Amino acid sequence: MKVNGKDFRTVCMENNEVKLINQLLLPHKFEIHTCKNHIETAEAIKKMIVRGAGAIGATAAYGVAQAALESDEDNYKDYIKKSVETLQKTRPTAQNLFTGINYVYNSIKDSDFNEIQKIAVEKANEFADYDAYACKKIGGHGNSLIKDDCKILTHCNAGWLAFVDWGSALSPIFMAHRAGKNIFVFADETRPRNQGSLLTAWELGQEKVPHGIIADNAAGYYLNKGEINMVITGADRIAANGDAANKIGTYEKAVLAKENNIPFYIAAPTTTFDLGTEDGSKIPIEERNPDEVLSISGIRIAPKESSAKNPAFDITPAKYIAGIITEKGIVKADKEEIKRLFEQ
């Protein structure tokens, strides 16, 4: 996607270094962050310099490739295995992180030292390229659901910053806009990290998509007034039965959409599905630092003696989801349909 008219990828690897768009500085500053080794790459995921399921998946895949490049003949198996553990521990919820790590690790774990480096880099690039390809396809499928004059609500950021390119939930929106449809996007601000007001709004602005930021609490008001025609969000992990983990606050938007007869869609590539997890109740939910709730931009707003709870994700049960937009087409949030998707 373009930033001030120039093409950028959210994450890539050049000369053994992982290059990331520093998402902590947006929208006020656009800067590329460099990770010289897999430890720095893991840190960038942990500190949310890079964030969003697809983006951290590709970054972690590159992290395993870096570990292969850093290793030497005497210790390469142990070294790479340890790097996998380090990268896996960075964040617990997004399935793409684990898919990306496994994709590279499984391709080298039984190989000889003289071939692992080449294979690891090739596989990491392949994984990142697939992410960009899948999201573009999601855009095409999702665009078919968007009518002219459509008003769409989205939550958090599932645009191209959250993937390698295009994004999941925003990809259909970018495509509809480029196709000349008249659309308007309501972007939830998404407290406490404000991915909606900082990142989604910035991406929509770069593409000149008409949009307005709303406080998270305002979504119900607009859904009830009939001012929103559809909801599209991303997902961080989708269980075998179609229950979906996404940014905290998504569940309540889905319930309110159903209550008001407005379709609620999830957009996610197949790399977000976790068929080994039966339903949403088994998806690990990241609990983040309470300071994110107690403070705004580093300034404490809550009383000194108050504590806070800060779950980063919630689960939307499959029954609230009108469909899941994947790169292979739009499927029902249903165990059998999801199973068939992986048999294609």
CB of 94 to ligand MRU, least distance (A): 6
What is the DSSP annotation of 152-207? EEE-S--SGGGSSSS-SSHHHHHHHHHTT--EEEEEE--TTTTHIIIIIHHHHHHT
Residue 58 binding ligand MRU, by CB under 6 A: no
Six-digit token string for 271: 């790399």
| d(C-alpha 342, C-alpha 273), whole Å | 10
Strands 2-3, 6-7: pairing is antiparallel
Q: Which is nearer to ligand MRU, 223 or 244 (CB)?
A: 244
Q: Which is nearer to ligand MRU, 52 or 100 (CB)?
A: 52
Q: How many residues bind ligand MRU (CB under 6 A)?
A: 17
**Active site annotation includes 236:** yes
| d(C-alpha 42, C-alpha 91), whole Å | 9
Q: Which is nearer to ligand MRU, 107 or 271 (CB)?
A: 271
Which whole-number Å values give the CA distances from 182 to 150, 172, 194, 207, 290, in the listed order? 7, 13, 26, 14, 40
CB 152 within 8 A of CB 174: no
CB 35 within 8 A of CB 143: no
Residue 24 region by backbone torsions, left for phi larger than 0, else alpha for psi between -120 and 50, else beta: alpha
Residue 195 binding ligand MRU, by CB under 6 A: yes
Residue 233 binding ligand MRU, by CB under 6 A: yes
Among 162, 164, 173, 254, binds ligand MRU (CB under 6 A): 162
Among 168, 194, 271, 316, binds ligand MRU (CB under 6 A): 168
Among 173, 312, 322, 333, binds ligand MRU (CB under 6 A): 312
Residue 51 binding ligand MRU, by CB under 6 A: yes
| d(C-alpha 200, C-alpha 211), whole Å | 10
Residue 95 binding ligand MRU, by CB under 6 A: no
Q: Which is nearer to ligand MRU, 3 or 24 (CB)?
A: 24
Residue 236 binding ligand MRU, by CB under 6 A: yes
Catalytic residue among 165, 188, 236, 314: 236
Query: Which residues are the active-site residues?
Result: 236
Per CB under 6 A, residues contacting ligand MRU are 51-54, 156-158, 162, 168, 195, 233-236, 246-247, 312
